[in-house]
A = this chain, B = another copy of it.
Amino acid sequence: MSLTEQIYVDLRSAIAEGRYAPGQKLKAEHIAKQLDVSGGTVREALNRLLSDGLVEVADRRGFTVAPFSVDDLRDITRARLLIEVECVRDAVAHGDDRWEASVVAAYHHLEMLARQRGGTDDWHELELRNRAFHAALVSGCQSPSLIGFHHQLFTRHYRYRRYALQDRGIVSGARKDHAALLRAVTERNVETATEIIRAHILRTQESSEALVAAFVSESSMTRKS
């Protein structure tokens, strides 16, 4: 893996996990010094991050972390309702055996961790496996474009997930959703699968919106100081 790509994935994680605040400037030279690479390399990674919608660029005034707002969350949710639901519909309808097996594998991998004591042992690993499950599910869709769009939306949504996860009901609900989704997949029940996904996306949105709103207004307070 080239250095540029390494920096690219590192920065993507850092932004998605909130280690860089929304709206914050991403000064190439500054980041370069921290990571002990050249400014040009960081610059290249930053340009690549534009694809993911996590970073914005303004001519002659550099890169910034994409804003974080209730509107943005609503936008992501809405696009997911269109695209992710369609991806799942298509995957369940047309995915082949290999795909179905990969979904079973991803589900099992996720469930193994979720089954552990308490559940919230290794947050980061849990999110990784959750992401892998959803990616596997969607990968059966026959449209590379839609899969790509879904991937971007999922990445952008990552910053908002932590707020949904504070809702106890969402966490346990998600686990039930995953089980139900797996059954719908193996039974090739398109209607059930799409309905679960749709409900899942909507519920996540509803439970996180208030918390996101609170965070946004709070951070705009502190920003004034």
Chain A interfacial positions (CB closer than 8 Å to B): 1-2, 5, 40, 43-44, 47-48, 50-51, 53, 59-60, 75-76, 78-79, 82-83, 86, 143-146, 148-149, 153
**Closest chain B CB from A47 CB (angstroms):** 4
**Closest chain B CB from A99 CB (angstroms):** 17
**Which residue in chain B gives the minimum CB-CB distance to A80?**
B145
Which B residues touch A76, using CB under 8 A? 145
Which B residues touch A43, using CB under 8 A? 44
**Known contacts A2-B59, A47-B48, A50-B48; A145/B40 CB under 8 A:** no
Contact A5 B59 (CB under 8 A): yes
Query: Quick one: which of B75, B82, B146, B153 contacts A86, CB cutoff 8 A?
Result: B82
Identical copies of this chain, number: 2
CA distance A145 to B152 in the complex (A): 10
Which B residues touch A60, using CB under 8 A? 2
**Known contacts A1-B59, A50-B51, A60-B2; A143/B44 CB under 8 A:** no
Chain A contact residues: helix, strand, loop or mixed = helix
**Which residue in chain B gives the minimum CB-CB distance to A52?**
B51
Contact B83 A82 (CB under 8 A): yes
For this complex, 25 residue pairs linking A to B, each with C-beta atoms less than 8 Å apart, are A2-B59, A5-B59, A44-B47, A47-B47, A48-B50, A50-B51, A51-B51, A53-B148, A75-B143, A75-B144, A75-B145, A76-B145, A78-B143, A78-B145, A78-B146, A79-B145, A79-B146, A79-B149, A82-B82, A82-B83, A82-B146, A83-B83, A83-B149, A145-B153, A149-B149
Which B residues touch A44, using CB under 8 A? 43-44, 47
Query: Quick one: which of B1, B40, B51, B75 contacts A40, CB cutoff 8 A?
Result: B40
Which B residues touch A148, using CB under 8 A? 53
CA distance A145 to B145 in the complex (A): 14
